[in-house]
Amino acid sequence: MAAAEFINLVRGWPSTTLLPTEHLSRAAQKALADPSIAFPGMLYGPDEGYCPLRETLGLWLTSFYRPEKPISKERITITGGASQNLGCLLQVFTDPAYTRDVLFAAPAYMLAFRIFEDNGFAGKMKAVPEDDDGMDMCALRKVLEESERRTPEQQLSKPSRPYSKYYRHVIYCVPTFSNPSSRSMPLERRIELVKLAREFDALVVSDDVYDFLQWPSDSNIPTGITKALWPRIVDIDRFLDGGAERSGADGFGNATSSGSFSKICGPGIRVGWSEGSAKFAYGVSQAGTSCSGGAPSQLTSTYMNILVKEGTLSTHIFEILQPAYAARYKTLMSAIERYLCPLGVKLPQSRRNVVGGYFLWLTLPNSINADSFAERCQSEARVIVAPGSIFEIPGDSSVKFDHSIRLTFSWVDKDLMVEGVKRISGVLESCLRGEGPIAIRKQDDKDEKPF
Ligand SMILES: Cc1ncc(COP(=O)(O)O)c(C=O)c1O
């Protein structure tokens, strides 16, 4: 008997069926055939990144986020994606001797932890719990106050530089369709967050990589939402009470938005953008690696400029991705409601009119430990699910997710998703009955990289 197919409900990658390879191929040919694009594309680029893409992004982001004033290229630095950008931000704007801590909305995107550790923040990462509206602001204030009380003033270990400043705290969050909880922060919460960041000299790093992937939760309402649901935190910081560049402020601001083409085009493209005040965006571009190597992803930036400028990417997002992910979301949701909810599984996030992202966050019955449950799903049912513990903040056990799991609807096809949920329900039934392992077939291979 052939082994049942492994079903990976962990991997937060776009389905290969949704990659716009033909569009990209056409854009690449166009860029490479034109020396005025190809030569700058193939040489070292300016530190801030490929200028035409910065301009195009300014217009494109303005049309999606609709801030009070247009977004100029001076606010944007091109990055190698949100992960690479996070590394740069920490190199330029934090000093682990001086910056007291990093505060995460918990549960948090687990692959960010190592980026913080690599930049000297091991042991300085703290959890701030979420409620249905994302990061809890009372808890955040408490953690910040506690940190200010407890941590002695430290000298800088890095040189001071004219293009940067070192913040006292970093607050990391995914405020829209979060990974992993899929929660979103409403406007009032975003405003509170900016006010707190200003009060405590914190930098809010807002990972805005899922903002474009949104659709009505009611599948009878058509998809194709071309305007962002909420202003980004960086937009609020730009305009609130005189904005980041108000008189008396240092002009760097207290928030930055990290955008990426990974989820809306393809992660292999490795192009993203960092937005903040003009002073902040310039600082990002001054990371040593960019000054030596030029902005990352210079050649692929020329391709992305064509795709965005010609409107191809917008069409792909609004006409292909949104309906496709909406259908996938609906399939996974229906399977969960049908096979898991009757067994006591809960979807903690209250259902909003508009939902999005790549993930669903589930709570198992209290008697079920998510780590051993995930292990049993993998070894007995050949389904890979992410247990809540991997999204806990390393070194801070104050916020635990012993009974949570995350499922992804972006990667596997709909039939497999349903099959995966059925298999999960089989394991759950067996756990609830207190039985030992169920056997679909003994595991004899491993999925190479689950995330
Ligand atoms: C919240 C979040 N940030 C960043 C990334 C990675 O983004 P990039 O590919 O642009 O580095 C992911 C990918 O899963 C993510 O979920």
- Burial environment of residue 7 by CB neighbours within 10 A (0 to 12, 13 to 18, 19 or more): buried
Q: How many angstroms does the Cα of residue 83 sit away from the middle of ligand 1?
A: 6
pLDDT of residue 153: 82
- In whole angstroms, what is the distance from residue 147 CA to residue 129 CA? 16
In the chain, the amino acid numbered 202 is A
pLDDT of residue 348: 67
Mutate to test the pocket of ligand 1, among 78, 104, 207, 208 (most ligand atoms within 8 A of CB): 207
> What string of pLDDT tens digits covers the 451 residues of the chain?
456 889 999 999 999 999 999 999 999 999 999 999 999 999 999 999 999 999 999 999 999 999 999 999 999 999 999 999 999 999 999 999 999 999 999 999 999 999 999 999 999 999 999 999 999 999 999 999 999 998 888 899 999 999 999 999 999 999 999 999 999 999 999 999 999 999 999 999 999 999 999 999 998 999 999 999 999 999 999 999 999 988 889 999 999 999 999 999 999 999 999 999 999 999 999 999 999 999 999 999 999 999 999 999 999 999 999 999 999 999 999 999 999 999 999 986 667 899 999 999 999 999 999 999 999 999 999 999 999 999 999 999 999 999 999 999 999 999 999 999 999 999 999 999 988 766 554 444 555 566 6
- Identify the residue whose C-alpha is closest to ligand 1 atom 4: 82
379 Cα distance to chain centroid: 29
3-state secondary structure of 7: strand
Cβ(269) to ligand 1 under 6 A?
no
- In whole angstroms, what is the distance from residue 122 CA to residue 102 CA? 10
Spell out the domains of the chain, with CATH numbers in brackets: 7-18+314-432 (3.90.1150.10), 21-310 (3.40.640.10)
Alpha-helical runs (H) found in 294-382: 298-309, 312-315, 322-335, 370-381
Q: How many angstroms does the Cα of residue 227 sit away from the middle of ligand 1?
A: 21
Mutate to test the pocket of ligand 1, among 15, 79, 109, 270 (most ligand atoms within 8 A of CB): 109
Nearest to residue 370, comparing CAs of 441, 361, 420?
361
CA distances for 374 relative to 9, 61, 283, 428, 429, angstroms: 11, 39, 42, 10, 14
Mutate to test the pocket of ligand 1, among 13, 83, 275 (most ligand atoms within 8 A of CB): 83
pLDDT of residue 245: 87
Atom of ligand 1 nearest to the CA of 13: 14
Q: What's the token pair of residue 446? A: 């491993």
pLDDT of residue 443: 47
- In whole angstroms, what is the distance from residue 402 CA to residue 396 CA? 14
Mutate to test the pocket of ligand 1, among 110, 209, 359, 360 (most ligand atoms within 8 A of CB): 209
In the chain, the amino acid numbered 25 is S
Q: How many angstroms does the Cα of residue 122 sit away from the middle of ligand 1?
A: 20
Cβ(179) to ligand 1 under 6 A?
yes
Q: What's the token pair of residue 124? A: 């300085």
Atom of ligand 1 nearest to the CA of 84: 11
Provide the angle, in degrees to the nearest 10, between the axes of the packed helices 137-150 and 187-199: 10
Identify the bridge partners of residue 80 per DSSP, sorted by sequence position: none
Cis preceding linkage at 180, omega within 30: yes
**Could you identify the residue written with the tokens 């809306």?**
264
Cis preceding linkage at 107, omega within 30: yes
Cβ(83) to ligand 1 under 6 A?
yes
Spatial CB neighbours of 166, under 8 Å, sequence gap ≥ 6:
93, 94, 95, 98, 99, 156, 158, 160
DSSP state of 311: T
- In whole angstroms, what is the distance from residue 338 CA to residue 341 CA? 6
Task: Please give the order of strands across the beta sheet that includes 404-408.
Answer: 359-363, 404-408, 386-387
DSSP string across 94-159: --TTT--EEEEEES--TTHHHHHIIIIITT-EEEEEEETTEE-HHHHHHHHHHHHHHSPP---SSP
Mutate to test the pocket of ligand 1, among 10, 263, 271 (most ligand atoms within 8 A of CB): 263
Q: How many angstroms does the Cα of residue 82 sit away from the middle of ligand 1?
A: 6
Report whether 265 contacts 313 (CB < 8 A): yes
Cβ(82) to ligand 1 under 6 A?
yes
Cβ(81) to ligand 1 under 6 A?
yes
Cβ(267) to ligand 1 under 6 A?
yes
In the chain, the amino acid numbered 214 is Q
Nearest to residue 365, comparing CAs of 437, 432, 434, 438?
432
Spatial CB neighbours of 424, under 8 Å, sequence gap ≥ 6:
339, 340, 377, 381, 383, 385
